[in-house]
Amino acid sequence: MKSLVLLILFIVVFTFKGYSQVEIPVFEKMSGRWQGYSESNGEKYKEYINMGWTLNHNFFEISLSEEQKDKSKENFMLKEIEYITIDGNSNLKGWSIDDYGVTHMLNFYGTFDENTVILNGTNETFKNNINYELKDNQLIRKSEFKTPVTGEAVKAEVTYSSVRSDYNTHFLPTQYDNISGSGLAYVCHLSENFVTVFDTKTNKLIGKIPCGKNSNWVCYSNEINNGYISNFTSGNLTVFNRNTNETISTVDAGENPTFLLPIKNKILISHQSKDGLWVLDVNSNTIIKKLQAGTGPLYYIKNENKIYQPQIFTPYLFIIDPDKLEIVKTIKVEGRPMEMAFIDNMKFGYLVNFDLNKVEKFNTKKDKVVKEIIDIKHPRGIASSPDGKLVYVSSVTEGKVYVINTETDMVTATIDGFTMPVSIAFTNDGNFAYVLNQRESSISVIDTKLNAIVQTFNVAGNPISITIIN
């Protein structure tokens, strides 16, 4: 049931591309991981709360886990999840659901100030009022409700201490050894004003690159030694020096710039808004052309000298002429195409289709689907191994990564243990793949020989895209 709720919210956010992002300062302070203890019937129970922005910074997620004991004294975990956003009147609204399912699903309405959040939740059989208060670096959660079956009034109060705040990343240096060197990975965050950098040799966070509001994508010019970051909320591009990470320029890039593609002295910029596809000249750092349409990621098919662009909100794949910078062909693919990965010198591309639960294999010379790989539920991210033998696909709702053998185009394995996995990237040797867990603000490392997670480490909130420099 919780997966269904998550899926509904995911579809809502990505369907209404004009949806404005939420700004609630108290949630920024609450973001992170907290731990506390509660008492019931003489027993002391441990509780955990993970908090952070999710779904393109439109919803704040509160995920609570409480250690309980049943009559036989065996431990189990009671879980609750809350999604909160803000309406046009600056009031909170959202949803809550727990392990008991739809009978306990609540609609929340509430208010907030600098240090408190007040939520009033109700359905036909159940009411629950919850207050969150930040005080002296602690989080206090007060709840008051009547049990649905007996009508018993229950009051509870738990004080939590921070286990790990996602915002510790703010203290990372902006200059560090081996800037722009091989083996470094760059992670954008849809709730931060920087890009996190870590070393894939050690999986240690080593620094950050300052940028505008809510980083979404990072790329590097093929002609000059500059980097570019799209800033989703501030509506601009940060141009920075790859030798120092210092900002060179900030360029107005329209409403909700997202994906970037460096090509032929230019940077192509797509948008999750009406602004379509823009073109930046890397020598002058100015916008020189604007196309009316273009919402998805961009891929240069070098052997055919064309660009593929799946349209996230509509069932089409655009083909763009990189010299004329015009849309020359539109292919209808149904459903909602998201990202692509390529093999065999880009002769074949794999397109994930979120709505249709499948991956479509394209012949890039003929622009034609030659194979469908079905029963991959709500695929979101995709990446191919350097040797082209494997394609990894993330299922954002199932918390899994599917492994496709490209010789047979069959799913040969599934890897569990992710929380809202999105972007994927392989190391240059193909030995490891990195998967961003957007909900948990973490990165999972997969050993590609074992097809298993061998490490997970924390990063700042809402990781959304990853690029590895090889």
Over the stretch 270-309, which tens digit does the pLDDT of each residue have?
999 999 999 999 999 999 999 989 999 999 999 999 999 9
> Number of structural domains, the chain?
2
To which residue do tokens 């879980």 refer? 79
Q: Are residues 90 and 158 in the same domain?
A: yes
CATH number assigned to the domain comprising residue 188 = 2.130.10.10
Q: Are residues 158 and 185 in the same domain?
A: no
Provide the residue range defining the domain that includes 50.
2-164
Q: Are residues 177 and 218 in the same domain?
A: yes
Of 135, 164, 193, the residue that ends a domain is 164
Q: Which of 186, 174, 192, 270 is nearest to 32 (CA)?
A: 192
Are residues 431 and 446 in contact, defined by beta-carbon separation less than 8 angstroms? no
Q: Are residues 424 and 275 in the same domain?
A: yes
Of 143, 164, 185, the residue that ends a domain is 164
Q: Are residues 154 and 177 in the same domain?
A: no
Q: Are residues 155 and 195 in the same domain?
A: no
Q: Are residues 118 and 186 in the same domain?
A: no
pLDDT the model gives residue 72? 47
Q: Which of 219, 222, 241 is nearest to 230 (CA)?
A: 219
**Per-residue tokens: 334:** 């149904």
The whole-model pTM stands at 0.76
Contacts (Cβ under 8 Å, ≥6 apart) of 23: none
Q: Are residues 396 and 333 in the same domain?
A: yes
Q: What pairing do the DSSP bridges indicate for beta strands 348-353 and 358-363? A: antiparallel
pLDDT the model gives residue 23? 65
In the chain (470 residues long), the average pLDDT of successive 10-residue segments reads 39 39 76 79 76 75 73 54 83 80 73 92 81 89 78 84 60 89 94 93 94 96 93 96 96 96 96 95 96 94 97 95 96 94 97 96 97 95 97 94 98 94 96 93 94 92 91
Q: Are residues 6 and 73 in the same domain?
A: yes
Q: Are residues 187 and 301 in the same domain?
A: yes
Q: Are residues 279 and 365 in the same domain?
A: yes
| Distance (Å, whole) CA 319 – CA 183 | 32
pLDDT the model gives residue 317? 97
pLDDT the model gives residue 52? 79
Contacts (Cβ under 8 Å, ≥6 apart) of 371: 360, 361, 409
Q: Are residues 275 and 318 in the same domain?
A: yes
**Per-residue tokens: 394:** 């993330």
| Distance (Å, whole) CA 233 – CA 241 | 22
Of 164, 181, 212, the residue that ends a domain is 164
CATH number assigned to the domain comprising residue 21 = 2.40.128.20
